[in-house]
Amino acid sequence: MDTELFEKLYLAGCQILPDVKLSEYTTIRIGGPARAVIFPQNLDAFIDTLSILAEKNEHYKILGGGSNVVPPDEYKGIVVSTRALTGAKFSGNRAVVDCGLGIQRLIRLAASHGLSGLEFLSGLPGSLGGALFMNAGAFGGEIGDLVEEVAVLDDGFNIKLLKAEEIEFSYRSSSLSNYVILNATLKFSYAQPEKVLKEMEHILKRRLEKQPLDQPSAGSTFKRPRKDFYVGTTIDALGLKGLRVGGAEISRKHAGFIVNRGKATQEDVVRLIERVREIVYSTYNVKLETEVEIWKGGSYA
Ligand SMILES: Cc1cc2nc3c(=O)[nH]c(=O)nc-3n(C[C@H](O)[C@H](O)[C@H](O)COP(=O)(O)OP(=O)(O)OC[C@H]3O[C@@H](n4cnc5c(N)ncnc54)[C@H](O)[C@@H]3O)c2cc1C
């Protein structure tokens, strides 16, 4: 049955890797086998892939840089990776960028065109699509602030061009999560390339000082429930650094991160999240919402 599907996807312009462990595609290095990871080679192939999968009633997920997701031990569906969708066209102080381009590459490309604006996301391991999906932010900036227009695919597989004013961006959330993100027009400001690269280095250094970048993680585990409630500091104050379930551990460097100390599974991460949520709720009466996305395991079958 898969052979026919894979042939169709191949003809649509995709590379196909059957029976792949998702841990190879997530920064937290968690995730068992998926039926296949599909790599559309251009935006047309991406759109065709999604419509073929929908037509065949296949359960699928889109994966960008895999830096905000925790997949299960077995995922019975198909994963569509945007990794090969890396086009970027610069003109003046604007760029039209495909969803799969990595944010770090984008910052460097912009610098090479004498453009600045996204340096605050230096060190963020995701793709443009993933960053827009959740309005990624750091050090006082949010990616939504640079957006002029985004090309998306709606539920009916129609391409829509959404202007910035038609998109809702808020803290770690955007209305773009209702769509498939194809590409975006971003507006930068002019700057000397050396200045951009220096700022990038500065931000990276600040991150390295605070965050466990040498261990697999999916970034901040929880969203800040309100502006003045710092989750990492709170978890630290509760003495929970180093708390462990299986291979998942509250980072000893930054309590806002859960790190994979070896063979962590999704279940370990979920149980650890629940422990922390219970303790924070019983102490502060505050309910924590996860920023990381826990994938369900294709239990639709
Ligand atoms: C070390 C580290 C540091 C981090 N620091 C930060 C930080 O400072 N600020 C911050 O905001 N986040 C941070 N993160 C979290 C993460 O990098 C961001 O959330 C990032 O934006 C996720 O992008 P991604 O491409 O990896 O998305 P993925 O993890 O691949 O996917 C996340 C979600 O986006 C969806 N998605 C991806 N591409 C598309 C598309 N084209 N169309 C529709 N849906 C799509 C996926 O289906 C999924 O639902 C950090 C993570 C790590 C590991």
In a domain, 251, yes or no: yes
Mean pLDDT of 286-299: 86
Confidence at 299, pLDDT banded by 50, 70, 90: very low
**Beta carbon of 67 within 6 Å of any ligand 1 atom:** yes
Instruction: For residue 229, report the distance from its CA to the centre of ligand 1, in Å.
Output: 22
User: Which of 105, 172, 252, 271 is labelled catalytic?
Assistant: 172
Q: Are both 172 and 253 inside the same structural domain?
A: no
- Judge whether 105 counts as a catalytic residue: no
Pairing relation of β-strands 14-21 and 88-91? unpaired
CATH code at 77? Answer: 3.30.43.10
Task: Judge if 102 and 62 occupy the same domain.
Answer: no
- Contact assessment for residue 175 and residue 154, using Cβ atoms and an 8 Å cutoff: no
pLDDT tens, position by position, 188-241: 999 999 999 999 999 999 999 999 999 999 999 999 999 899 999 999 999 999
Asked if residue 202 is part of any domain, the answer here is no
DSSP at 221: S
Mode of pairing for the β-strands spanning 60-63 and 75-81: parallel
The pLDDT, as a whole number, for residue 301 is 29
- Catalytic annotation present for 291: yes
Query: Does residue 297 have a pLDDT over 80?
Result: no
Same domain, 76 and 92: no
Q: In the chain, how many domains are there?
A: 3
CB of residue 122 inside a 6 A radius of ligand 1: no
Both 116 and 187 in a single domain?
A: yes
Q: Mind listing the pLDDT tens digit for each residue in 116-134?
A: 999 999 999 999 999 999 9
Q: Is residue 238 part of a domain?
A: yes
> From the CB of 124, is ligand 1 less than 6 Å away?
yes
CATH of the domain at 92: 3.30.465.10
User: Does 204 reside within a domain?
Assistant: no
Rounded CA gap, 161 and 158, in Å?
10
What per-residue confidence (pLDDT) applies to 241?
98
- What gap in Å lies between CA 246 and CA 264, rounded to an integer? 6
Q: Is 125 in the pocket of ligand 1 (CB under 6 A)?
A: yes
- Measured CA to CA in angstroms, residue 127 lies from 56, 62, 63, 111 at distances of 28, 12, 9, 17
Does any domain span residue 258? yes
Residue 301 lies in a domain: no
Residue 42 lies in domain: 2-81
Do residues 43 and 85 lie in contact, with contact meaning Cβ atoms separated by under 8 Å? yes
Q: Which of 196, 220, 247 is the last residue of a domain?
A: 196
Q: What is the DSSP letter of 16?
A: E
From ligand 1's centre to the CA of 62, what distance in Å? Answer: 11
172 is catalytic: yes
The answer to whether the Cα torsion of 222, 228, 229, 230 is positive or negative is: positive
Is residue 36 situated within a structural domain? yes
pLDDT reported for residue 51: 96
Contact 9, 58 (CB under 8 A): no
Higher pLDDT, 300 or 283: 283
Mean pLDDT of 278-283: 97
Predicted confidence (pLDDT) at residue 64 exceeds the cutoff of 70: yes
